[in-house]
Amino acid sequence: MIAYFTVGADDIARARHFYSAFLPALGYGLKEGPEGLSYALPVEPGQRPVLPDFYVKPPFDGSPASVGNGVMIAFEARSQKQVRELHAAAVAAGGFDEGQPGFRASYGPHFYVSYLRDPQGNKIALFSSDPTEPGRDG
């Protein structure tokens, strides 16, 4: 099981503006400290954490943050409508469009996805694959 993802950021305030435009709508809460941003799903008393967590931090080695070529982090939305809304919110919050919301011919008929770059250049996907919603072929 994947426990957490971390992406580097040189401008934490700019990263907070971007990620807070859509992660809270997916249920993530934010804790901010001197080490950066920690987004986590809520934990009921007596329950184990719901994973994965998502962290945005300055690189530990003090060098400028850089993106991983071929690295992408995907967040599941509740619906196609939410994918559209969160994509628009993330772009308005300083992200960059890498692929408008919609179906892709190379994926399954219910995989509805959009792609973004955060202000640092990290690639993010927002998707829904709810089989009760209209699919690509119908």
Quick check: helix, strand or coil at residue 19?
Answer: helix
Residue 2 token pair: 């994947």
pLDDT score for 73: 97
The architecture CATH gives domain 4-128: Roll (3.10)
pLDDT score for 1: 80
pTM here is: 0.92
pLDDT score for 138: 64
pLDDT (tens, 9 = 90+) of the chain, 138 residues, equals 889 999 999 999 999 999 999 999 999 999 999 899 999 999 999 999 989 999 999 999 999 999 998 999 999 999 999 999 999 999 999 999 999 999 998 999 999 999 999 999 999 999 999 999 999 886
d(CA 4, CA 100): 26
- The secondary structure of residue 25, as a DSSP letter, is G
CB contact burial 119-138 (16+ within 10 A = b; e otherwise): bbebbbbbbbbeeeeebeee
- With a CB cutoff of 8 Å and minimum separation 6, the contacts of 17 are 93, 94
In DSSP terms, 72 is beta-bridged to 123
